[in-house]
Structure 1
Amino acid sequence: MHVLSGGAAAAVVQSVQAEFEHITGSRIDGTFSAVGMMRDKLLGGAPCDVIILTRPLIDQLIASGHVVPGSARSLGLVKTGVAVRSGTAHPSVNTREALHAAMCAAQGIYFPDPDKATAGIHFMNVLQALGLNESLQSRFRVFPNGATAMAAMAKSEESGLIGCTQVTEINYTQGVDLVDVLPAEFELSTDYTLGICTGAQAPEQAQILAQLLVGPASAQVRRQGGFEF
């Protein structure tokens, strides 16, 4: 069972993997990274039975014939948040002014790909709105996806670090803490949605996996990570 997924849903897929493999006898081969990168892999011909992206990207793939119409199902909404390394002070980030000050005080700013990752694209827009996209460029620490960015921040020996990505990628990563979601004027709430691919080799098994991912089997893990549903 081939799964292509945005990094925000990685832990959800992993939480139902054992149950799916027990039910079907098939193993899950999952790839997790920025949603734009996962879309491009599908369009490039990568094998895929179930794909998990943002709702607009799934809708595009339905329109282009890559995802079965009517198969889209939401895992829940995920907000974008600010993180620091565990054990360090939590700055105030709940207003434009506070967020600006926190970014200016940071020695390293960790976030996902500003071209392919949902949170990375959005965060770069926030930095531009704050007038910091050029002045703080030397402090940017950019990674392919939010989970990788948070893991790198957790292991870094630099001091004065801050990061921004989907709250799930913060909550599921040991060594970093969620400080808060972005201020209301910069809020981004992303609907992570699965679709069954028209090229699925095992469509019946894909349906079983889809039900596990959006149903009670994964509900606790989704809530713990910050999915709202």
Structure 2
Amino acid sequence: MYPLPLIGRRAALRLGLLAALALGQVAALAAEIRVITSGAFTEAYKQLIPLYEQASGHTVISSFGASSGNAPDSIPSRFARGEVFDLVILSETGLEALVKAGHVVPGSRMDLARSKIGAAVRKGTPKPDISSVAALRQTLLNAKSVAYSASASGTYLSGELFPKLGVAERLKETGKRILSERVGAVVARGDAELGFQQVSELIYFKELDFLGTLPEEVQQTLYFSAGLVQGSRQADVAAHLARFLSSAAVAETVRATGLDPVAGKR
């Protein structure tokens, strides 16, 4: 089980100030930065943004959505509608798609963390085995209902892993592709027996038992990265925020939320 972060007020202040000093300030006047981030980085983001605002004097206006898919609140859908942002944080594949679509500045990618896919069941129910490829396959065949994300992890599961394991036909009957909410919420209320999503999106549900990550042979490890939005009037400040989120000063907080911090290095 991943530890949950406990940051005292004094430690939080020290973290924010150290990071700000290390990165330097880019603007004498306070600025507003509009950011949209996907689910996997959300918990780390929610803890770090108040520290950044306190240390920098800038204000961050936050939005949240899935890295991919056509749900109304997904990041691609919001860009397609013309919503305005300065910085976007999402899976590497999602970011590349936004670059190709002309929404994100080419070469502005800054990796923040690596993420793995995990599984969970509702607390108090049987805990199936996913520790090996064979066990995972059998668990998928046995499950009466399996929830997975409509975003990056779910695309990998339904498009690659399920066919590879020979369970795709079974999952056509039992699989549930979840839009606009976390898989953990679906499993927690009993609408699915088994759920798969990024570890950082599962471990915060107290109603769930976290089973672990997919076996390494079939694991998908994704980078979650920040990119500067084309046409932003706050590009320098947005880049400053991205450097803060990728810095060594915040690595322990990122790790505690179920992610592997990149700390500015890829």
Query: Structure 1 length as normaliser, TM-score?
Result: 0.85
Partners of 2:80 and 2:249 lie apart in 1 by: 30
CA RMSD of aligned residues (A): 2.4
Q: Which amino acid aligns with 2:175?
A: F
Q: Does 1:171 align with 2:171?
A: no
Partners of 1:94 and 1:74 lie apart in 2 by: 29
Match of 1:9 in 2: 41
Residue among 179, 183, 190 paired with 1:149:
183
Please show how residues 24-43 of structure 1 align to structure 2 within 5 Å. 24-36=57-69, 37-43=74-80
Please show how residues 37-186 of structure 1 align to structure 2 within 5 Å. 37-113=74-150, 117-124=151-158, 125-144=160-179, 148-156=182-190, 161-186=193-218
Larger CA deviation: 180-189 vs 61-70: 61-70
Number of matched residues? Answer: 223
CA contact (8 A) 1:48 1:199 kept: no
C-alpha spacing 1:41/1:93, structure 2 compared with 1 (3 Å): same
**Cα shift at 1:78:** 0.7
CA contact (8 A) 1:24 1:205 kept: no
Q: Secondary structure at the match of 2:233?
A: coil
**Cα shift at 1:6:** 1.9
Partners of 1:216 and 1:103 lie apart in 2 by: 38
C-alpha spacing 1:177/1:215, structure 2 compared with 1 (3 Å): farther
Partners of 1:51 and 1:27 lie apart in 2 by: 12
What fraction of aligned residue pairs are identical, expressed as a percent? 25
Q: Secondary structure at the match of 1:51?
A: strand
Q: Which amino acid aligns with 1:20?
A: Y
Q: Which amino acid aligns with 1:87?
A: G
Q: Which amino acid aligns with 1:41?
A: R
**Cα shift at 1:129:** 2.2
**Cα shift at 1:111:** 0.8
Q: Does 1:193 align with 2:225?
A: yes
Query: Structure 2 length as normaliser, TM-score?
Result: 0.74
CA contact (8 A) 1:6 1:35 kept: no
Match of 2:20 in 1: none
Deviations 1:92-127 (A, max 9, x none): 2122221122122222211111xxx11111111222
CA contact (8 A) 2:35 2:88 kept: yes
CA contact (8 A) 1:16 1:213 kept: yes
Q: Which runs of 4+ in 1 moved over 4 A?
A: none
Partners of 1:137 and 1:213 lie apart in 2 by: 39
Please show how residues 209-224 of structure 1 align to structure 2 within 5 Å. 209-216=241-248, 218-224=250-256
Larger CA deviation: 168-177 vs 62-71: 62-71
**Contiguous gaps of at least 5 residues in structure 2:** 1-32
Deviations 1:169-224 (A, max 9, x none): 11233322331221233110001110111222322331232123212454233212
Higher Rg:
2
Match of 1:19 in 2: 51
Deviations 1:122-168 (A, max 9, x none): 111222222322234332232125x621112112276xx11111111
**Contiguous gaps of at least 5 residues in structure 1:** none
Partners of 1:111 and 1:143 lie apart in 2 by: 6
Q: Which amino acid aligns with 2:164?
A: A
